[in-house]
Each structure stands twice: as structure tokens, then as C-alpha cells.
Amino acid sequence: MLVNPLPDPAFWQGRRVLLTGHTGFKGAWLALWLQRLGAQVTGVALAPATTPALFDLAGVGQGMDSRLCDVRDAAALAAVVRAARPEVVLHLAAQALVRPGYAAPLETFATNVMGTAHVLDALRGLDGVRAVVVVTTDKVYRNLEWAYPYREEDALGGHDPYSASKAACEIVAASYRDAFLAAQGVALATARAGNVIGGGDWAADRLLPDAVRAWEFGNILEIRRPAATRPWQHVLEPLAAYLRLAQALWQDAGRAGAYNFGPLPHEAATVKDVIEMARRAYPSGAVSYQNESYGPHEAGWLALETAKARAVLDVAPRWPLAQAVARTMDWYRALHAGGDARALCEADFAAYEGTPGTP
């Protein structure tokens, strides 16, 4: 069996793709990859939320039809979707962070729940669309802090607004699939990915961006919960999986459903593990490990069972965690030294595509 075969350029060449959230971290990387594959990409998103932003530095908008549109605006979104006439839809637009979800719960629910409903509703009755991937998160599960990785059949939940909104997004997607889209010939799947790392992320309260910000200016990185365990993966891992999933849906609507994407369960790592790997690229990086018992609730342990993705899609990680961390830190260091952001992304694409699969 092939393990994690790459996205097929023959499938994506000339394919009309609607990509929401293309100005964000993962969305910008995915837009670049779709351009590399020859797809005709229409992007729908708000303006980049950070300065700097990968979307700007890598000139992502130059190779696509980039539209600034809020997914909470149903009418404006529907007009963009109709004009794009997509064959494949990749929905990434979201409020994607736990702590901002506490600060702005209504905005989080409006974007993640109603925004998803607006995207899917715009596809009702639309000719040509055939495959839809709705990206959610590994945090959609009702986290019991047990010692087992979560499977796609486990109960959904969410203590914090971000997690709850993404669990609700899963229910919205299933409803639109069952009530409308399946009968229309549209195959829809949801993708639950673990924590992603990679160059070009400048969001607040993300581990490696926080480390880069601190160490580039000679500051001490303060780590709140070093023992927290997550399924870390390089950004190219879930993006490859989303593309492979879309291809599979196109070929067989029976593959619709929910999929976990992440490292093998035993490779989930603590925050401290990841930081110590990162320090190998920044030997002078100083860290202060704390053990906060206060502040907003965050899960202490989370891992995903990815057997379904391996069995149904032949998708499994290509880069071990140490390599993913090293490439991430090398990306930031090269950019800081004057490197070109788009060239750095292209180098990562080339390296990823050339790496043998890992059984």
C-alpha cells in the first residue's frame, strides 16, 4: 500500500477551486500549493489578520482570484461563489484560536458556525460543484483527558467557545450533506487536523511564532503549560491530506464523512518537547517554564487516532516531528536573514514532495 501519496497534479491542473480563508496561515500555504498544482483558485477571506502575514510576504494573491469577503455576509458570499463556479470547495475560513474565542465568543460562533452554513448554503443548487472539504479541528471532541486517542466516532463537544463552535460546525456540515448536498451529487467531508507548525505563522498565542518573536529580540520565552500534549505536525501534512481527501471525494462519494489528520498517536508531544527541539535551531533561545493552574481552560492531553485516514486515503505523515520543527525554525531564520518568503515556501514544497513516505 502506498503511504501518503502526494496530491495529483493531473487532477488539480485547471480545476476550479474555491478556497475560503486564503489570507490566513494555513490558507496561504494551501493557495500556494494549489497554484503550484495548476488549479484555478478563487479565494474568499478577510484581509490578513497579522502584520506581517504570509499572504502578503509571499505574494499569494498574485496567482489567483483573491476576494475580500466576510463569510458572515451570506449574500456577498453567495455572489462570489456563483461567480467562481467551483468544482471543489476547501473551506478553511475561521476564527481559529482558543484564547480569542474566550475574548470574543459571539464573533467566534458567528464565523465558525454561521460562516460554514453560509458557505454550504451557497452551494445548494449550484451546478458543477462535486467535492467539499470543511476543515474543523482536533478540538471538536468532548475531551475527557483520557489516555486514548480520539476516533471519528467519539462524541463531539467543546469546553471553550472555539472548540464548541467547531464541534457545531461538524453538525452543520453533516446536516447540509444529508439534507441537501448528497442528493445534488456533492460529496462532503470534514477534516479534523492536529496542531500545525510551519514558517509564516505570526498569530499570537501559538507556540513557535511566540518562540520566534521572543528569540529574535533576545527575550525570554515564557511557557505557560509545558506538559500540555498535542498532535503536532508540519502545515504541509494536513494540507496534503485535504487535497488527497478532495480527490477521493471526487472519485467516490461514498468516502464522505469525518477524518482525523495528524501524527501517529504515539508521536503526540508535549509543549516542552517541541520547544527543546526548536532551541536546537536557536541555541541562544532562553525559556522560562511555568506551570499555570489559572487562566482559561485548555485541554492538557489530546491525541488523534488516524487509522481511518491511513486505511481509506493512504494518508500518513511524511515528516517526523523533529524534522517538522527544524524546517519551521529554519524558515523563520532564513526569512529574518533576508530570504524571500515565497522562495522559502517553494523550497519546503520541493522538500516535502521529494521525501519518501513513512510506513
Residue ranges of domains in the chain = 12-292+301-353
Residue 145 has what pLDDT? 80
What b/e readout covers 64-102, taking b as 16+ CB neighbours within 10 angstroms?
bebbebbbeebebbbebbeebebbbbbbbbbbbbbebbe
In this structure, whether the domain defined by 12-292+301-353 belongs to CATH 3.40.50.720 is answered with yes
Residue 2 has what pLDDT? 42
Residue type, 209: P
Contact 235, 196 (CB under 8 A): yes
Of 192, 194, 185, 136, the closest CA to residue 165 belongs to 136
Q: Is 129 exposed, middle or buried (0-12, 13-18, 19+ CB in 10 A)?
A: buried
Residue 299 has what pLDDT? 62
The half-sphere exposure of 285 on its side-chain side, counting CA atoms within 13 A, is 24
Contact 157, 212 (CB under 8 A): no
Please tell me the distance from the alpha carbon of residue 45 to that of residue 159, in angstroms, as a whole number: 27
Please tell me the distance from the alpha carbon of residue 245 to that of residue 80, in angstroms, as a whole number: 24
The cell for 74 is 451570506
The cell for 239 is 494540507
Instruction: Give the model confidence (pLDDT) of 168-177 as tens digits.
Output: 999 999 999 9
Residue 294 has what pLDDT? 56
Instruction: Give the model confidence (pLDDT) of 199-230 as tens digits.
Output: 999 999 899 999 999 999 999 999 989 999 99
Q: What does pTM read for this prediction? A: 0.95
Of 194, 208, 210, the closest CA to residue 329 belongs to 208
| Cell 489559572 belongs to residue | 294
Residue 248 has what pLDDT? 98
Beta bridge partners of 287: 221
Q: Could you tell me the end-to-end alpha-carbon distance of the chain, in angstroms, rounded to an integer?
A: 9
Residue 281 has what pLDDT? 87
Residue 247 has what pLDDT? 98
The cell for 236 is 504541509
Q: Is 328 exposed, middle or buried (0-12, 13-18, 19+ CB in 10 A)?
A: buried
Distances, alpha carbon 9 to alpha carbons 15, 38, 88, 178, 233, in Å = 10, 7, 14, 30, 23
Residue type, 32: L
Contact 43, 109 (CB under 8 A): no
Low-confidence residues in the chain, pLDDT < 70: 1-4, 292-300, 355-359
Contact 63, 88 (CB under 8 A): no
| Residue 312, helix vs strand vs coil | helix
Where do the DSSP E strands lie in the chain? 16-20, 40-45, 65-68, 88-91, 131-135, 187-193, 196-197, 220-223, 229-230, 233-234, 257-261, 269-270, 286-289
